[in-house]
Structure 1
């Protein structure tokens, strides 16, 4: 079965926005216009931004729901591309480029995978761009710490092996989260379900045979990994503690519902499979 319309729109928009990652190759292959990229790169990027958003507006001006998708997916793609260029051209800020790529891809792919696996639950909130005020503050804090330490403690940002470990954690964590969404398909939802839906089954195969909550394990690993990648010691400690507290409470609340839905089957699943996050045990009660 092919992708639904929203998934196609999201994919094409993200690709259109991120197409600026091809600019270095294009101008390299066309040396007679390479001066445009060398001397007028900022103007080229601004033209790309205006052109992409202009096309989005022209095509979807009378389709409000579709436009809301393209403006989010397309601009996430643009920022992803800017992160790529930053990582490619700036020795000083390339780690921040990695972070921008990881952050934008995470949010776009949340929507994309939801559209492909559980379209009934798909909304604009599936981008998770309005996750919470605390989430936005955390993201802003990580940027502030990175820039301040880059300016005043630049040697701290030259620990390449540490950054590579963080990059592996971030990529691996995001992959695990998306794989868990793909495995659970219609049984996955971004929100705790307090009422059992028709067709909702207990998923205990694939990555769910390793962890009870692989999507949370992936998100936790991705979140902490981004701060390792940025060599942000303060936010690393803060993210580790705050994220652990969030997932500890979230899993506890979610498992109350899951025990109500699946009873002995879930209790047996609890005994056999860990949550996946250290020292998080979930809700336990003998039936």
Structure 2
């Protein structure tokens, strides 16, 4: 697999993943959206279909990792050379930021209406939990319902472990470097299952690029009243998925290989 294949497949695929994933969060959250208040089922299935679309798009090009945790898990297992890991991760981060920006463009009018309404409401008290994250940050990145770092970290480790071990045990593509056609569908369904079963505590990042890239975009966007980007929590959806992926890769080599 060439460096160009990795860049094209991962940037494009991750951008589509975040465009559709952040898009369903925006649809459910923002005023003047026809899907406002559609609920957690819409978000879980929206992210699952986002994975399905993005992975089908990029599977034949880069193996459809779309997630630094998946790339690291595949490297620990031995399917992906370690010297390719930095290029995969940089491409995924670039794609995640692009996808988040495109989601903002797609919902630009709804963001304006939502923020205009919020401007008439009082600011939360300094130090309150809801002061740690801006009112639209959840469209871009994840956050805990109960802010407890050890539990939040454990939740992300467990969710990502399930994702990566499922990818490894279902079999990879012919090149052995990513998802095959059936694997794309299975992985999308696994993501829906994780969202429904394990997504409640933290919003199930299970992907460092999915959380960090859009969080950076949130920090940079000219959204008046957008609030904080919650950098104090940002390490959890990065470290947790990496640890979960490493554990999955190690277990696969011991018990399944």
Place the TM-score, normalised by the shorter chain, in its bin. Answer: under 0.3
More helix by share: 1
Structure number with bigger Rg:
1
Q: Which has the higher contact order (CA 8 A, sep 6+)?
A: 2
